[in-house]
Structure 1
Amino acid sequence: MPTRKLFGRALALAALAALPATAFTVPSPAVAAVASAPEAAAVTAPISFVELPSSPLPSDHAAHRIVVTYRNGTGADQTIAPQILVESPDAGPFLAPGNVKLEALTGGHWRTVPLASQTGTLYSSLTSAKLVLHSHHTLTQYYRLTVLKVSPGTVVPRVAVFG
């Protein structure tokens, strides 16, 4: 993996660690087989990320579905957050949040997911996606990505796991 991408992810983790503790206590809307995160949930940065298969950023203006599936195979509940990264090529041009539109299927409706940008990587918030996944349950979250300004890049879905 290129150094710039590792550095960008490290910066994103550092930025998360600098957020106030209250930023990590807001759970996302309930999803089947999950419950909202309790107030006493871990107030730390993620301890790991489970990266799912990546794909090239589409080169058309159609809506493309992204499915994030994660199974909690442990004997305990886990606090997790699905996340979508859209990475720019190492040599640029670097993507801006206005280059793509990301939506999540929530409660039967597509809602726009704001994207932040750091070091050429666009990313969805972990804070608003945070939830508790019960032992031996599976999360399936549907996203829709539409390219507004055709640019090279890579779509990287992943799941943050909190301690």
Structure 2
Amino acid sequence: MPTRKVPRRNLVLTTLAIALAALPAAAFAPPGQAAAPAASDPPSTSAAAAPVSFVNLPSLPLPADHAAHKITVTYRNDSSGDRTVAPQILVESPDNGPFLDPVDIRLELLAADGHWHTVALGSQTGTLYTPLIPAKLVLHSHHTLTEHYRLTVTKAGQGTIEPRVALYA
């Protein structure tokens, strides 16, 4: 029986999309602000909607040192309308392992206040990834999204850093 290899990043996205679609919209509201929808309210699926495509940015080898390395994610919305996007960092382990663990890497995001904030990493099938839902934002027509990350390898391993931008309908 012929088999087909599914790239791990597609498996992560599919599994994440299925899991998010199963969650109620209240799961995405801050604590204390989640309210039960009124009977007349239509079901909300915008928070859990899966991306329609990705813009893959140039990948980088995972550094072997323990120094902080800057990664910049840039995407320009050249369309005539606003677009919902979400930057994402994937760190792919080698196909045959050993697989990286979230504690092997520290990823930080430069916030608007000028401070670096740690970003939690998910892990599935050898891929570390930043969650999409908290990163979603509306990018206005002809505006550019630029996000600055800082990645530090805390435990040496092999892998590839794959920045990308998720595009929503």
TM-score w.r.t. the length of structure 2 is 0.81
Deviations 1:89-139 (A, max 9, x none): 001000000000000001211000000000000000101111000001000
Q: Partners in 2 of 1:142 and 1:148 — Cα distance?
A: 19
What residue identity is the alignment partner of 1:13? T
Matching of residues 1-150 of structure 1 within 5 Å: 3=5, 6-19=7-20, 20-22=23-25, 42-43=46-47, 44-107=49-112, 108-150=114-156
Gaps of 5+ in 1: 27-39
Corresponding position of 1:35: none
Q: Quick check: which has more Rg, 1 or 2?
A: 2
Report the RMSD for the aligned CA atoms in angstroms. Answer: 2.2
Higher strand share: 1
The change in CA–CA distance for 1:11 and 1:144 in structure 2 (over 3 A counts) is closer
Q: Percent identity?
A: 56
The change in CA–CA distance for 1:23 and 1:149 in structure 2 (over 3 A counts) is farther
Work out whether 1:154 is the aligned partner of 2:133.
no
Q: Partners in 2 of 1:24 and 1:74 — Cα distance?
A: 31
Gaps of 5+ in 2: 30-43
Number of corresponding residues: 149
For 1:101, what is the secondary structure of its paired residue?
A: strand
Offset at 1:41?
8.1
TM-score w.r.t. the length of structure 1 is 0.84
Deviations 1:5-30 (A, max 9, x none): x144224323223212527966xxxx
Contact in 2 for aligned 1:25/1:41 (Cα 8 Å): no
Q: Partners in 2 of 1:73 and 1:145 — Cα distance?
A: 29
The change in CA–CA distance for 1:48 and 1:138 in structure 2 (over 3 A counts) is same
Contact in 1 for aligned 2:88/2:131 (Cα 8 Å): yes
Contact in 1 for aligned 2:92/2:128 (Cα 8 Å): yes
Q: Partners in 2 of 1:149 and 1:17 — Cα distance?
A: 31
What residue identity is the alignment partner of 1:76? G
